[in-house]
Amino acid sequence: MPPNDLSIKVEQVKRFLNKGHKVKVTIRFNQAFHLKEQSLRQLEHIETLIDAETGVPSGQPRTQFGGVYVYYSPAN
């Protein structure tokens, strides 16, 4: 994912979290299961970009239907 696209998505996630909404972040890899580890690293990177003061993950990343996802809850 290009860095500019990622920064825009992270800003959108922060905006929703600041409004008090839960957010589901999904990285899709469809049939390319060999990209699962790369997708998990991408989710870890996104977690570092979302401040702990803004939102916290609600559990561990999960795999479902060709993708990896994690829910974020507002930190308040």
Cβ-defined contacts of 5-8 (< 8 Å, 24+): 6/46, 6/49, 7/49
The neighbour count for residue 42, using CB atoms within 10 Å, is 18
Name the strand (E) or helix (H) holding 43. helix 36-49
pLDDT tens sequence across 19-39: 999 999 998 887 777 778 888
The verdict on pTM exceeding 0.75 is yes
The letter for the amino acid at 10 is: V
Report whether pLDDT(9) > 90: yes
Query: Considering the chain, what is the average pLDDT of its residues?
Result: 89
Q: 59, exposed or middle or buried, with CB in 10 Å at 0-12, 13-18, 19+?
A: exposed
CATH number of 3-74: 3.30.110.10
Report whether pLDDT(55) > 90: yes
